[in-house]
């Protein structure tokens, strides 16, 4: 079956959303060593907030997008301050922290249900404008989504690689005790990273909200796709989530196009199992010099 360019464009747009979610996972994992399954919850809250204030209150979409990102940023910080830090201080077992975060995802789900209702919230896009290319309508919102997502991935990549505080996140991730001994403000950097991760997840949720209705159940779905993108990409570099997100989206779209959408979930499962079996560290892993 011939692949239309609009299929490729959609795969890139969806892949970048997955990449943002995976990047949020990456940042949390980088400094806290924790897989934060509440990432999808932040995205869901931000998406529902964006949709609700735009559609029901009439707030301009750009303002709503900023508000959604700010709220998700706050959720990221609160998770670090109120969940991860205190629990990690009392329990050495990482599993306890992961359990608490999983519980947080369900708390966010219920809170969102009380605040925004349990029905899907359908959001207006950032702009209703569209243009036509070779007989196909392309929404300006889609273009903004692609450009903004790419910009965020590149900026975070540069920050982690070259920024002063960004390099500190790498130091903390590599060896927290050594970083502390070197005088790196571990708590502050962790808080900065958690807030950034929350904000990125919020951006993903708010940009996705106009594509289809988001519900309180969307948090779990978004958490899962973000995690799978992280698993595929690995945690070797800040660009690994980008590769993971795009690979996941292309696999999804390709499976749906070639074998039909009914086969999509089976092929996704097979792909994840394959990555776990052959390259459990993902496509990009951290190289450790042993000599």
Angstrom distance (rounded) from CA 62 to CA 266: 38
Q: Write the binding mask 6 to 45 for other proteins: x where contact by CB under 8 A, - elsewhere.
A: xx--xx-xx--x----------------------------
- From candidates 127, 165, 217, 285, binder to other proteins by CB under 8 A: 217
- The helix or strand, by DSSP H or E, that contains position 133, with its residue range, turns out to be strand 130-133
Using an 8 Å Cβ cutoff, are 282 and 231 in contact? yes
- From candidates 32, 169, 218, 235, binder to other proteins by CB under 8 A: 218
- From candidates 104, 179, 203, 208, binder to other proteins by CB under 8 A: 208
Question: Which residue lies nearer to other proteins by CB, 16 or 101?
Answer: 16
Using an 8 Å Cβ cutoff, are 80 and 189 in contact? no
Q: Token digits for 210?
A: 């106009």
Question: Which residue lies nearer to other proteins by CB, 165 or 217?
Answer: 217
89 binds other proteins (CB under 8 A): no
Instruction: Find the shortest distance in angstroms from Cβ 212 to other proteins.
Output: 5
* Distance between first and last Cα of the chain: 50
# residues contacting other proteins (CB under 8 A): 38
Instruction: Find the shortest distance in angstroms from Cβ 221 to other proteins.
Output: 5
Residue 82 burial (CB count, 10 A):
12
Q: Token digits for 44?
A: 């869901």
Question: Assign residue 163 a region: left if phi > 0, alpha if psi is -120 to 50, beta otherwise?
Answer: beta
Angstrom distance (rounded) from CA 112 to CA 104: 12
Question: Which residue lies nearer to other proteins by CB, 12 or 35?
Answer: 12
118 binds other proteins (CB under 8 A): yes
**CA dihedral sign of residues 152, 199, 227, 31:** positive
- From candidates 77, 79, 196, 211, binder to other proteins by CB under 8 A: 211
Q: Write the binding mask 47 to 86 for other proteins: x where contact by CB under 8 A, - elsewhere.
A: --------x-------------------------------
Q: Which residue has tokens 């199992």?
A: 273
Angstrom distance (rounded) from CA 276 to CA 125: 37
Using CB under 8 A, which residues numbered 257 to 286 contact other proteins? 257, 260-262, 264-265
Using an 8 Å Cβ cutoff, are 30 and 253 in contact? no
Question: Which residue lies nearer to other proteins by CB, 91 or 119?
Answer: 119
- From candidates 231, 253, 271, 275, binder to other proteins by CB under 8 A: 253
Instruction: Find the shortest distance in angstroms from Cβ 205 to other proteins.
Output: 11
Q: Token digits for 156?
A: 């975070």
Residue 114 burial (CB count, 10 A):
9
Instruction: Find the shortest distance in angstroms from Cβ 11 to other proteins.
Output: 8
Query: Which positions ≥6 away from 279 have C-beta within 8 Å?
Result: 234, 285
288 binds other proteins (CB under 8 A): no
* Contact set with other proteins (CB under 8 A): 1-4, 6-7, 10-11, 13-14, 17, 55, 113, 118-120, 122, 135-137, 208, 211-213, 215-218, 221, 252-253, 256-257, 260-262, 264-265
């Amino acid at each position: 079956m011939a692949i239309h360019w609009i299929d490729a464009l959609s795969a890139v747009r969806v892949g970048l959303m997955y990449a943002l979610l995976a990047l949020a996972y990456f940042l949390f994992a980088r400094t806290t060593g924790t897989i934060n399954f509440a990432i999808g919850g932040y995205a869901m809250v931000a998406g529902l907030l964006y949709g609700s204030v735009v559609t029901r209150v009439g707030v301009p979409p750009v303002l709503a997008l900023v508000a959604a990102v700010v709220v998700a940023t706050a959720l990221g910080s609160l998770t670090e301050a109120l969940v991860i830090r205190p629990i990690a201080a009392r329990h050495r077992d990482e599993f306890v922290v992961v359990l608490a975060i999983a519980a947080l995802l369900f708390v966010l789900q219920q809170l969102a249900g009380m605040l925004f209702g349990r029905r899907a919230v359908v959001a207006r896009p950032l702009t209703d404008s569209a243009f036509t290319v070779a007989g196909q309508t392309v929404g300006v919102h889609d273009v903004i989504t692609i450009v903004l997502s790419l910009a965020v991935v590149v900026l975070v990549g540069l920050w982690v690689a070259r920024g002063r505080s960004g390099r500190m996140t790498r130091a903390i991730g590599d060896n927290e005790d050594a970083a502390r001994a070197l005088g790196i403000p571990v708590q502050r950097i962790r808080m900065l990273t958690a807030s950034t991760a929350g904000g990125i997840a919020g951006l993903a949720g708010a940009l996705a909200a106009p594509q289809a209705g988001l519900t309180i159940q969307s948090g779990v779905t978004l958490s899962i796709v973000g995690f799978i993108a992280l698993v595929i990409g690995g945690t070797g570099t800040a660009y690994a989530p980008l590769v993971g997100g795009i690979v996941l989206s292309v696999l999804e779209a390709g499976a749906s196009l070639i074998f039909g959408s009914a086969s999509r979930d089976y092929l996704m499962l097979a792909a994840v199992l394959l990555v776990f079996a052959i390259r459990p560290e993902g496509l990009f892993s951290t190289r450790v010099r042993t000599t």
